[in-house]
């Protein structure tokens, strides 16, 4: 299938940005434009049949649109950083790259996203781990395991050993989850 180049013009308040978009057809281009505009919280956008220069932002969105990431490979962010996290600046706003990827992919981000590969430079969406709290050492899947193990009577020290965290992390998780669940109704 042949690809066509488009120029996506975004506007947010008094800021303008042009992003190169490559798509299979006009419907594909329109879908990408809509996803990019939503992720960047643009007020308006328009799409035209013209080329514009590639930027790290256009390359990121093109790779996301074509799922051009491998599960086993860390993807090092080559752009800017803030507080040790990959960031980019567009439309007069700072965007942390991992949450921006979640917005583009329409993945609900209830909490914080961190690289599961522990490579702070990695932006591979397959390496995203979702944490309920910023300082949490456990993602949602691990938190669910803690709750299941606990309900089955597995001792806290065994749960901590299995998940390779300290016992206090397990106790905090159990207390937090019990607090959010509220009292049991009989």
Digits of tens for pLDDT over the chain (186 positions)?
677 899 999 999 999 999 999 988 888 899 999 999 999 999 999 999 888 888 889 999 999 988 899 988 999 999 899 988 999 999 999 999 998 998 888 876 666 788 888 898 999 998 887 765 555 567 667 777 888 888 888 899 998 888 888 888 888 888 877 655 544 443
Distance (Å, whole) CA 156 – CA 166: 9
pLDDT for position 140: 66
User: Is the Cα torsion angle 15, 24, 108, 96 positive or negative in sign?
Assistant: negative
CATH of domain 140-181: 1.10.10
Cβ neighbourhood burial of 167 (10 Å; 0-12, 13-18, 19+)? middle
pLDDT for position 9: 96
pLDDT for position 131: 61
pLDDT for position 25: 87
pLDDT for position 178: 67
Domain residue spans in the chain? 4-131, 140-181
Distance (Å, whole) CA 68 – CA 45: 25
pLDDT for position 139: 67
The pTM assigned to this predicted structure is: 0.68
In the chain, DSSP finds a helix count (H) and a strand count (E) of 6, 8
């Amino acid at each position: 299938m042949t690809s066509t180049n488009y120029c996506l013009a975004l506007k947010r308040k008094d800021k303008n940005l042009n992003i190169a978009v490559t798509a299979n057809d006009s419907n594909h281009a329109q879908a990408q434009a809509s996803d990019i505009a939503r992720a960047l919280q643009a007020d308006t956008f328009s799409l035209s049949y013209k080329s514009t220069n590639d930027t790290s932002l256009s390359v990121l969105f093109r790779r996301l649109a074509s799922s051009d990431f491998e599960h086993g490979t860390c993807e090092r962010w080559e752009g800017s950083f803030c507080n040790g996290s990959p960031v980019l600046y567009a439309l007069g706003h700072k965007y942390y790259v991992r949450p921006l990827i979640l917005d583009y992919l329409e993945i609900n981000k209830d909490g914080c996203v961190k690289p599961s590969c522990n490579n702070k430079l990695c932006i591979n969406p397959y390496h995203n781990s979702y944490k309920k709290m910023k300082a949490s050492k456990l993602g949602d899947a691990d938190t669910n395991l803690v709750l299941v193990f606990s309900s089955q009577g597995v001792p806290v020290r065994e749960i901590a050993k299995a998940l390779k965290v300290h016992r206090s992390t397990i106790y905090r998780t159990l207390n937090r989850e019990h607090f959010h669940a509220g009292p049991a109704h009989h």
